[in-house]
Structure 1
Amino acid sequence: MWHHRIWLGAAVLPLALLVPRDAPVPHILAEPPAAPRTRAVAAPQPVIVSRTAWHADESIVRERAAYTGAVRAVFVHHTGETNDYDCAQAPELIRNVEEAHIKGRGWDDIGYNFLVDRCGTIYEGRAGGITRSVRGAHTTGFNADSVGIAVLGDYHDGEKVPAPVLRALASIAAWKLSPGEDPRGKVKLRSTNDASRYPKGEVVVLNVISGHRDTYQTSCPGQALYDELPEIRSMAAAMRTAAGRQGETDTEDAGNTH
């Protein structure tokens, strides 16, 4: 593990190399969104630390946010540096990511829609409104109709993924995914960039909750985190089921008051 003073200052360069640029393209759906399934409702919004709270440097943001369609897929990433950090340092790490993406890669803003630290705290990423479908720059060829979530740290073989991280990832997916998408299911998306694993225009069947490596030649999000994707899918589905049941209970209670 790097000494804190060394790796905090050195984090910008490796972070800048994580995600290649995905050029703007017209919004094209591979297929219409599915009709909502029974109880397939969005879970409540989790607590999210705003850009203001982590002191995003708005002066370096190049352009305002662009928007895409309803969220049909979630892509999980890791940022790739050490896990040996105190969670109080997470805002500084995220500012490093922001600087790397904007100044290092020339992007408009930080690429990820959300970030999660090892304590399970969720942070707003790219600006534009957490409740809106903001198009990120996180998964080359598949930024449309998707959300990118990055876990701060390195989750290659041998690294244990903390339980709060898994729950945070599941809670974002359960909240942001369109009601028609099953977190345990598949989705068809169209590649928009030849730099991905799939030629531009090809329709690809992916897991609704996928890892970065599923669409790009990379080890991201690390084998340890990638191995936890089935658990994240199950947790997100359970959160949606619970939200559906709660909604039915609330409706019944309201009806009983008349």
Structure 2
Amino acid sequence: MRGFLSSAVGVAAAAALALPLALSVPAAAASGSGAAASGSAAASGLGAVPPAAPAGSTQSLPLAPLRASSDRSAVPPAAGLPEARGLAAREVERFSLVGVVWDDADAELNGRVQVRTRSVDTALWSDWQDVETHNGAHAPDPDTAERGTGPARGATAPLWVGESDAIEVRVEAERPTVRALPARLPSGLRIELIDPGVPPAGAADGKNGAGTGGLPGDDDKGPVLVPGMTMEMAEASSVNVPLAPLGATEIGALGKADSTADAVLTGEARPGAAAAPYIGPRPRIITRLGWGADEKLREKAFVYTSTVKAAFVHHTASGNNYACKDAPAVIRSMYRYHVVSSGWRDIGYNFLVDKCGTVYEGRAGGVARAVLGAHTMGFNTDSMGIAVIGTFTGTNPPAPAVKSVAALTAWKLGLFNRDPRSTTTLKSGGGNRYPKGSSVKLKVISGHRDGFATECPGKLLYGQLPTTRTASAKLQGR
């Protein structure tokens, strides 16, 4: 994210952490970017807040121009200072993840976004936290069907803040250079407050060994849709058969010898022909049912590309303040943020990995298949996106997570006969680094920044990619 110069809306640390004497409360949650949370917040002060909605919810609140007050000030852009917008401290319905969106998906937010939140558990306010401005780095390719099927919006990265019940927001455009016009913010700025809801019974909890159950069925009549299992859930699960039975909350790990059979599903290996020899052991993967995806949110159809030639490694830039048991809730929140708030067809990443090394299925369509994602603008076709949950610009990625990235790429790239140490050529679909239609030589395991001008996956995770390539190839038997 671009550097934040001295701010006209900055406040002293002590004042920033002090609880306002009276918190403002919206009359009702706005619904400008999708389903709004039900119920209403307390009238003022420290009143009770409704519990989390089982299916999750999104509160979408507009950001207004900041006015002078005892703890903040703003000068209109006409006076030569950057535009500033925000939201006064207020109680809201419970939420755990925040992000800022705006109307035009092609517009950039050049400036600084900060939030502070109040914890449900402690009733204390956090320090001001930066939200990464993102600017199209994780997104569908320009002119793709995905961008034309709904109200796609510009969006910051999401930030996981834990269960909270009050919020304050400030956004300041970048200060202008000498003789430049005052910096402006994109139109339609809104803060999205996302509650992940509670997972369905039997879903994984982010711990090793969790979520081993499946939904009942019998061999003669086929799978039975038990209460709570919708047709959308069955469709999302069926594309992973025969890797796991319909309704499974996880896909089990396999040894290298057994994993070669998975290549038949990709079309790279044909029945009766020798399977691709360099396929790493299949890692354990928590399915969408396992992390509690609300399958009614996403677009119904699955979209595929012809093959998988490369893997792009990302960080979610959502912060590191989560426990492994919370990872499914973090993913449910990101899913809702990508679909409801950003206007995408599904969660953008093909896979996610938490700090304990647990691998999760991302975008629906089948973990062994070439599913079109929305993770690296310009290079989503014929690639897959793996996001490590966290921020790794100044924090080292956990060793279990890095190890799982190597294991996942050894298996998935092996299904498509790709050597993790090699290079490949992808055609750019447009972005801020390579012109649309240009052929670009990239490493088979690349960082997001290799295809798009961004800090992702953070310099410390990016620095782990050389050893990840070597470890992935070794797992393939190369």
2:286 paired residue among 42, 49, 52: 49
**How far off is 1:103 after superposition?**
1.3
In the other structure, the counterpart of 2:144 is 24
For 1:109 and 1:10, the matched residues in 2 are separated by: 17
In the other structure, the counterpart of 1:112 is 349
For 2:277 and 2:419, the matched residues in 1 are separated by: 7
In the other structure, the counterpart of 1:92 is 329
User: Which letter does structure 1 place at the counterpart of 2:397?
Assistant: V
In the other structure, the counterpart of 2:475 is 239
Conservation of the 8 A alpha-carbon contact between 2:139 and 2:348: no
CA-to-aligned-CA distance 1:79-121 (integer Å, 9 cap, x gap): 1022121100001100111011111211000000000000000
**How far off is 1:171 after superposition?**
1.0
For 1:175 and 1:16, the matched residues in 2 are separated by: 33
In the other structure, the counterpart of 1:131 is 368
> In the TM superposition, what are the counterparts of 1:181-220 in structure 2 within 5 Å?
181-193=418-430, 195-220=431-456
**Percentage of pairs with the same residue:** 45
Going from structure 1 to structure 2, the CA distance change for 1:98 and 1:127 (only over 3 Å counts) comes to same
For structure 2, the 5+ residue unaligned runs are 1-94, 101-130, 146-267, 269-275
SS at match of 1:58: coil
For 1:16 and 1:76, the matched residues in 2 are separated by: 19
Conservation of the 8 A alpha-carbon contact between 1:79 and 1:151: yes
For 1:122 and 1:185, the matched residues in 2 are separated by: 24
User: Which letter does structure 1 place at the counterpart of 2:454?
Assistant: T
TM-score norm. by structure 2 comes to 0.44
1:78 paired residue among 309, 312, 315: 315
Going from structure 1 to structure 2, the CA distance change for 1:41 and 1:112 (only over 3 Å counts) comes to same
1:146 paired residue among 370, 379, 383: 383
Query: How many pairs align?
Result: 223
SS at match of 2:296: helix
Going from structure 1 to structure 2, the CA distance change for 1:83 and 1:160 (only over 3 Å counts) comes to same
User: Which letter does structure 1 place at the counterpart of 2:429?
Assistant: T
**How far off is 1:40 after superposition?**
5.5
Conservation of the 8 A alpha-carbon contact between 1:60 and 1:102: yes
For 1:56 and 1:223, the matched residues in 2 are separated by: 31
Conservation of the 8 A alpha-carbon contact between 1:170 and 1:232: yes
User: Which letter does structure 2 place at the counterpart of 1:228?
Assistant: Q
In the other structure, the counterpart of 1:10 is 97
For structure 1, the 5+ residue unaligned runs are 1-7, 26-32, 34-38, 243-258
**How far off is 1:21 after superposition?**
2.8
Conservation of the 8 A alpha-carbon contact between 1:116 and 1:151: yes
**How far off is 1:123 after superposition?**
0.3
Conservation of the 8 A alpha-carbon contact between 1:12 and 1:96: no
Question: Which range moved further: 15-24 or 131-140?
Answer: 15-24
Segments of 4+ moved more than 6 angstroms:
none
CA-to-aligned-CA distance 1:181-230 (integer Å, 9 cap, x gap): 2101111111012x241011100011110011111121000001000000
For 1:15 and 1:68, the matched residues in 2 are separated by: 30
For 2:419 and 2:277, the matched residues in 1 are separated by: 7
For 2:338 and 2:399, the matched residues in 1 are separated by: 28
Conservation of the 8 A alpha-carbon contact between 1:16 and 1:104: no
For 1:204 and 1:16, the matched residues in 2 are separated by: 26
In the other structure, the counterpart of 1:250 is none
Conservation of the 8 A alpha-carbon contact between 1:71 and 1:147: yes
**How far off is 1:9 after superposition?**
2.0
Higher helix share: 1
Conservation of the 8 A alpha-carbon contact between 2:279 and 2:413: yes
Going from structure 1 to structure 2, the CA distance change for 1:73 and 1:95 (only over 3 Å counts) comes to same
Going from structure 1 to structure 2, the CA distance change for 1:40 and 1:209 (only over 3 Å counts) comes to farther
Question: Which range moved further: 90-99 or 179-188?
Answer: 179-188
CA-to-aligned-CA distance 1:115-169 (integer Å, 9 cap, x gap): 0000000000000111111111111111111110001110013x12211111110
Higher strand share: 2
CA-to-aligned-CA distance 1:38-63 (integer Å, 9 cap, x gap): x8611122100010010011111124
User: Which letter does structure 2 place at the counterpart of 1:106?
Assistant: G
SS at match of 2:429: coil
For the pair shown, the structure with the greater C-alpha radius of gyration is 2
For 2:306 and 2:133, the matched residues in 1 are separated by: 27
Q: CA RMSD in A?
A: 2.3
For 1:16 and 1:49, the matched residues in 2 are separated by: 29
For 2:138 and 2:290, the matched residues in 1 are separated by: 25
TM-score norm. by structure 1 comes to 0.80
